[in-house]
Amino acid sequence: MGPLVLVVDDDARTARTLGRMLREDGYEVEVAVDGPAAIARLTRSPVPNILISDLRMATVDGVAVVRYAQSRRPDMRVVVVTGYPHLVQSALDPPPIVLTKPLVYGDLRAALGSAGLA
């Protein structure tokens, strides 16, 4: 079993495709298509090892998701993928890894590094 990744993006097709690619590369992946679904998933066990989240989403945004995730698992690797990278800097502590959209898959793999991979 690879590390568990939660992909959060309100663009469901993109989230699913990203999940598919990550799965092929050895990760366990679950997808949430909005903030409330992401937080609902984070309340359950097993708590994901990695969170890849969009930032600007309706109702509950990525900042709230990341904060909740960090409270659930302080050592969780968090990657925020956003079109608004400048909004992340001051909003989150500790600062997550920030990747600017459009996401280059290779950059994401580099950012995840060997986190949790066997």
> Where do contacts with other proteins occur on this chain (CB under 8 A)?
11, 13-14, 17-18, 20-21, 24, 81-84, 86, 100-105
Rg (CA), the chain: 13
CA angle 106, 20, 58 (to 5 degrees): 90
CB of 46 to other proteins, least distance (A): 26
The number of residues making up the chain comes to: 118
Nearer to other proteins, 18 or 42 (CB): 18
CB of 45 to other proteins, least distance (A): 29
CB of 75 to other proteins, least distance (A): 27
| Inter-residue contact 88 to 96 (CB < 8 Å) | yes
